Amino acid sequence: MSRICTLTGKKLQRGNNVSHSNRKTKRTFLPNLQVKKFYLEEEQRWITLKVSTTAIKTISKKGLKACLDEAVEKGYLLGY
């Protein structure tokens, strides 16, 4: 399974470790992903999503239905 948020599209980023002597080596930055179950009231069912913690905060602010519709519109999610 890939490390991509299903709602925001956040994914792995690459960068450098910089030592005290300013030597640079490649590293990766992983998104903070959580597997979480949400209850979709419009369809009376539970949905399991792999979302970032930022997306969890957005869901509690906007609502699950609005976030799912936005993810489908942007192309991060095919359907739910």
**Is residue 66 assigned to a domain?**
yes
**Is residue 8 assigned to a domain?**
no
Query: Looking at the 3D structure of the chain, how many domains does it have?
Result: 1
What is the span of the domain harbouring residue 22? Answer: 13-74
Read off the CATH number of the domain in which 50 is found. Answer: 2.30.170.40
Instruction: Give the amino acid at 46.
Output: W
**Is residue 5 assigned to a domain?**
no
Residue pLDDT, tens place only, 24-68: 999 999 999 999 999 999 999 999 999 999 999 999 999 999 999
Check the CA dihedral 20-21-22-28 and report its sign.
negative
**Is residue 35 assigned to a domain?**
yes
- For the entire predicted model, the pTM comes to 0.84
Residue pLDDT, tens place only, 50-60: 999 999 999 99
Whether the per-residue pLDDT at 1 is higher than 80: the answer is no
